[in-house]
Amino acid sequence: MITNRRTFIKVLAGAAAGTGARLDVAPALAQAAPVRIGVLAAKAGVTAPVGESGLRGTQFAVDRINAAGGIAGRKVEMVVEEESNPKDTVERFRKLALQTKADVITGGISTAVGLALGPVSEELKALWLAWDATTQKGVEETIPKPRYAFRSVDNEAEAVMASILTARQLKGKVKTVAGINNDYSYGRDNWAAFLAIMKKFGMNVTPVVELWPKLGETNFTSHVAALQQAKPDLVFSSFWSGDAPILMKQAHAAGLTQGTKFVLTTAGGVHESMKKAFTPEGAIMGYNSMYFEAPNASPLLREFSKWHQERFKEWPNYESDHAYFTVVAYKAAVEKASKAAGSKWPTTEQAVEALEGIEVDSLSGRRSYRSDHIMECSYFQGVTTHKNRHDFVTIDPVEVMSTKQIQKPSGTGLYDWINSWNV
Amino acid sequence: MLGGVFHAAVLFLVAAGLQLVFGVQKILNLACGSFYALGAYAGVSAVSFTLAAGAPPAVFPAVLVGAGLALALVGPVVERLLRTIYDRDESFQLLLTFALVLMFEDVIRFVWGSAPHQLGNVYLVYGQLRVGGLVIPVYNLVVIAAAGVIAALMGGMLTRTRFGRIVRATAENRRMAEALGVDVSRVYVRVFTLGVALGTVGGALVIPATAAVNEMGIDLIVEAFAVVVIGGLGSMRGAVAGALIVGIMRAVAVATYPEVEMLAIYVVVIAVLVLRPAGLFAKAAA
């Protein structure tokens, strides 16, 4: 019982000594404690399905890793926080890094969030493996040479691939083009890349209308009317969320899909919503880094697709692959660094060094991190078809391009790189 | 232009709910957008259920209106909550109704999940109308007509029925109405439920043409307030005029100079605030 001030101080001192003793053994205990993976996943709004998809990929990776004995013998534990606006997400990132003491933090879809998380990751020296959210501003300005942040593929890569396919398939067949893209850096950068590549390939196309609905818009009747009025031969859109099927539904109802070609760089991200009833055959459509029905799908992708379909009654989309990759890349890096350090758990710095250049099997095939902390993988796009067992469109033939072909090399500006092509 | 009228039709229903509730109860109800989103989700569920039961497309509009009306049953519950702030400062109204917006977002996430919901090809089964070189989806006309009928019914109800007279009397002078024997509490419950129904029916009706997304109501709240500022707070005719102005302004901006799509609306809002601060139809009764 604490009877006076002196006794109280003695008790406090004893407690402090006890804490000290526990701290002394902490590194030893840490070897047996689970590895904590902090996950930032969007759960609301237009990014919610993508966040959910990333979460599923992470869960699949963690389950497999734990079933096989964990990372360097330690079980893996997920601590999930929500990705929302940049300010709140930065606070949750800090919480994961400082309070939860996550060994690694994965996630991030929104460009604005990605731009905010990069500098915080560097400041806290907290390892962050982004799923997405890598625009030119992040690559070239805000986090040009990150140490602790590992970024996704340049967001424009899908526009670059879709533009190359457009040039290959439609040269001489289209004279006028229209763009309908979200009014933020991703949408604007994609449209600019498309026009630059059209010029590079000598397509001689004239942009007749450029439309910039805000992200989250759910009514495109006015935009469709503007497209009808402009009568373009081709409509280019980088919509990637619930807005892609709404646009196609309203465009089809207004007769716009008859005679007008569509290029949908990223609609594969919501592929189950792209119903045959309103999505025409013959459109160029992209699936980003993973196509669930890839003709040469690996046993791993087949296993994941089956797991996903059985559990969620849906076919998976690409964000699962980005998320899966971040977890297995971290595992491979830690085990590589641990081996080099004589079976000791590596420091964050050692894990960072091991991650640079690491190459692993992901759901979509081999994937890696470049030394400038940007992902390399393959992209899947093709021409939409109704000839399948689903009520939504798929692609046939499937074109596969490596990001080595469609992503600018380290240290180069996007447009300098495009202009340097020999076509 | 017709795209603008379609948007105006939906906007009118949400703004009319906002107008009615403010006109009578003096409550600035930010949750009007949430009722719109709730109606949209309920519409998806109801039509999906009807489709599974093998019902013909002709019944879908009725099913959607029915789903919207059924969901208006949340009205009396929410009104009960709002009673605590009738006599308090407006900031309490804004705080409470904004809290409701956030709570309804979570309710939607809990019941329907976070992924957008849509109704495959229900939008397309009504076909298209060709006028000159223009192709118009018939369903857009159904929504515009439904909004027109609802506006007419609202107008008729407010001016020609006993309940309408009581509502207008309560809006004009609550204490006098009470003194004359009007059960104001009951009027408030009915008016609020009617306001909710306008939002939920609006959300349900629009859903075949779009997809139900959790935040779909948030943007509409902002636009509904623009409608209210332009039309005049508490005026039903103002809601019609304001919705048409906002809807058509957006459509014209998109067709001519897309960069100013949102700016165009707020230029009108500022002009109204400067030249006619009480709105175009400020003096009209609720």
Let me know if residue B286 belongs to a domain: no
- Cβ distance A368 to A402 under 8 Å? no
Q: Would you state the pLDDT for residue A23?
A: 41
Mean of pLDDT values over A34-57? 91
Q: Would you state the pLDDT for residue A31?
A: 55
**pLDDT 10s digits, B249-265:** 988 998 888 888 888 88
Q: Would you state the pLDDT for residue A400?
A: 96
Let me know if residue B16 belongs to a domain: yes
Let me know if residue A248 belongs to a domain: yes
Is A45 in Cβ contact with B261 (below 8 Å)? no
**pLDDT 10s digits, B34-65:** 999 999 999 999 999 998 888 887 888 899 99
Select the residue from A212, A218, A279, A313 to test the B interface by mutation, using most B Cβ atoms within 10 A: A218
Interchain contact B43–A (C-beta under 8 A): no
Nearest C-alpha in A relative to B252: A222
Model's pTM, two decimal places? 0.86
Is the ipTM of this structure higher than 0.90? no
Q: Which has more confidence, A164 or B116?
A: A164
Q: Helices A48-67 and A299-312 meet at what angle, rounded to 10?
A: 120
**pLDDT 10s digits, A269-297:** 989 999 999 999 999 999 999 999 999 99
Let me know if residue A360 belongs to a domain: yes
Instruction: Say yes or no to pLDDT of A302 above 80.
Output: yes
**Chain A / chain B CB contacts < 8 angstroms:** 127
**pLDDT 10s digits, B116-167:** 888 877 888 888 888 877 888 999 999 999 999 999 998 889 889 999 999 8
Residues of B in contact with A211 (CB under 8 A): 254, 258
Instruction: Say yes or no to pLDDT of A17 above 60.
Output: no
| Residues listed for chain B | 286
Q: Would you state the pLDDT for residue B107?
A: 92
Provide the pLDDT confidence category of residue A20 given band limits of 50, 70 and 90.
very low
Shortest Cα distance, chain B CAs vs residue A21, angstroms: 45
Which residue in the set B214, B250, B259 is minimally distant from A222, CB to CB? B250
Average pLDDT of chain B to the nearest whole number: 88
Mean of pLDDT values over B6-20? 90
Provide the pLDDT confidence category of residue A332 given band limits of 50, 70 and 90.
very high
Let me know if residue A25 belongs to a domain: no
Let me know whether A214 and A273 are in one domain: yes
Let me know whether A274 and A402 are in one domain: yes
Let me know if residue A196 belongs to a domain: yes
Which residue in the set A45, A49, A253 is minimally distant from B137, CB to CB? A253
Query: 3-state DSSP call for residue A330?
Result: helix
Instruction: Say yes or no to pLDDT of B89 above 90.
Output: no
Is A49 in Cβ contact with B115 (below 8 Å)? yes
Is A228 in Cβ contact with B124 (below 8 Å)? no
Overall number of domains in chain A: 2
Print the domain residue range for B205. 2-215
Mean of pLDDT values over A165-192? 93
Let me know whether A263 and A226 are in one domain: yes
Instruction: Say yes or no to pLDDT of A418 above 80.
Output: yes
Shortest Cα distance, chain B CAs vs residue A56, angstroms: 14
Is A273 in Cβ contact with B262 (below 8 Å)? no
Let me know if residue B22 belongs to a domain: yes
Let me know if residue B53 belongs to a domain: yes
Provide the pLDDT confidence category of residue A378 given band limits of 50, 70 and 90.
very high
Provide the pLDDT confidence category of residue A28 given band limits of 50, 70 and 90.
very low
Is A213 in Cβ contact with B261 (below 8 Å)? yes
Q: Which has more confidence, A386 or B182?
A: A386
Q: Would you state the pLDDT for residue A366?
A: 95
Let me know whether A270 and A412 are in one domain: yes
Instruction: Say yes or no to pLDDT of A21 above 80.
Output: no
Let me know if residue B227 belongs to a domain: no
Which residue in the set B124, B214, B251 is minimally distant from A277, CB to CB? B124
Let me know if residue A338 belongs to a domain: yes
Residue A171 belongs to domain with CATH number: 3.40.50.2300
Lowest mean pLDDT among A13-17, A35-39, A371-375: A13-17
Instruction: Say yes or no to pLDDT of A398 above 60.
Output: yes
Let me know if residue A78 belongs to a domain: yes
Q: Which has more confidence, A94 or A269?
A: A94
Let me know whether A207 and A171 are in one domain: yes
Is A52 in Cβ contact with B114 (below 8 Å)? yes
Instruction: Say yes or no to pLDDT of A9 above 80.
Output: no
Let me know whether A314 and A414 are in one domain: no
Which residue in the set A51, A252, A391 is minimally distant from B124, CB to CB? A252
Let me know if residue B103 belongs to a domain: yes
Interchain contact B59–A (C-beta under 8 A): no
Q: Would you state the pLDDT for residue A139?
A: 67
Phi and psi of A346, rounded to 5°?
-75, 155
Is B116 in Cβ contact with A49 (below 8 Å)? yes
Shortest Cα distance, chain B CAs vs residue A223, angstroms: 6
Angle made by CA atoms B92, B98, B100, in degrees to the nearest 5: 105
Select the residue from B248, B257, B261, B265 to test the A interface by mutation, using most A Cβ atoms within 10 A: B261
Q: Which of A191-205, A409-423, B254-268 has the highest mean pLDDT?
A: A191-205
**Dmax of chain B from CA atoms?**
61
Let me know if residue B257 belongs to a domain: no
Provide the pLDDT confidence category of residue A136 given band limits of 50, 70 and 90.
low
Let me know whether A331 and A215 are in one domain: no
Print the domain residue range for A191. 157-288+378-419
Query: 3-state DSSP call for residue A392?
Result: strand
Counting residues of chain B whose pLDDT is more than 90, the rounded percentage is 38
Q: Would you state the pLDDT for residue A138?
A: 67
Between CA B245 and CA B252 the distance in angstroms is 10
By a Cβ cutoff of 8 Å, what residues of chain A touch chain B?
A: 43-46, 48-49, 51-52, 209-214, 216-219, 221-226, 228-229, 241-242, 245-246, 249-250, 252-256, 270, 273, 275, 277-278, 391
Lowest mean pLDDT among A24-33, B16-25, B140-149: A24-33
Let me know if residue A13 belongs to a domain: no
Is A391 in Cβ contact with B120 (below 8 Å)? yes
Residues 6+ apart with CB under 8 A from B257: none
Pairing of strands A104-107, A128-129: parallel
| SS3 of chain B | CHHHHHHHHHHHHHHHHHHHHHHHHCCCCCCHHHHHHHHHHHHHHHHHHHHHCCCCHHHHHHHHHHHHHHHCCHHHHHHHHHHHHCCCCHHHHHHHHHHHHHHHHHHHHHHHCCCCEECCCHHHCCCEEEECCEEEEHHHHHHHHHHHHHHHHHHHHHHHCHHHHHHHHHHHCHHHHHHCCCCHHHHHHHHHHHHHHHHHHHHHHHHHHCEECCCHHHHHHHHHHHHHHHHCCCCHHHHHHHHHHHHHHHHHHHHHCHHHHHHHHHHHHHHHHHHCCCCCCCCCCC
Which residue in the set A43, A228, A249 is minimally distant from B123, CB to CB? A249
Let me know whether A131 and A41 are in one domain: yes
Average pLDDT of chain A to the nearest whole number: 90
Residues of A in contact with B114 (CB under 8 A): 43-44, 48-49, 51-52
Q: Which of A288, A364, A291, A294 is nearest to A325 (CA)?
A: A364
CB contacts under 8 A, B 101-140 vs A, are 105, 109, 114-116, 118, 120-121, 123-124, 128, 134-137, 139-140
Q: Would you state the pLDDT for residue A19?
A: 44
Which residue in the set A226, A253, A275 is minimally distant from B255, CB to CB? A226
Residues of B in contact with A391 (CB under 8 A): 120
Select the residue from A222, A231, A271 to test the B interface by mutation, using most B Cβ atoms within 10 A: A222
Let me know if residue A4 belongs to a domain: no
Select the residue from B103, B118, B219, B266 to test the A interface by mutation, using most A Cβ atoms within 10 A: B118
Let me know whether A42 and A125 are in one domain: yes
Overall number of domains in chain B: 1
Between CA A189 and CA A178 the distance in angstroms is 15
Which residue in the set B3, B121, B139 is minimally distant from A277, CB to CB? B121
Residue B162, token pair as written in the block: 């006993």
Which residue in the set A43, A249, A278 is minimally distant from B114, CB to CB? A43
Instruction: Say yes or no to pLDDT of A254 above 50.
Output: yes
- Cβ distance A142 to A245 under 8 Å? no
Please report, as a single letter, which amino acid is at residue A289.
S
Let me know if residue B123 belongs to a domain: yes
Nearest C-alpha in A relative to B137: A253
Let me know whether A271 and A327 are in one domain: no
**pLDDT 10s digits, A196-249:** 999 999 999 999 999 999 888 888 989 998 998 899 999 999 998 888 999 999
- Cβ distance B53 to B62 under 8 Å? no
Let me know whether A330 and A369 are in one domain: yes
Let me know whether A169 and A179 are in one domain: yes
Residues of A in contact with B139 (CB under 8 A): 253
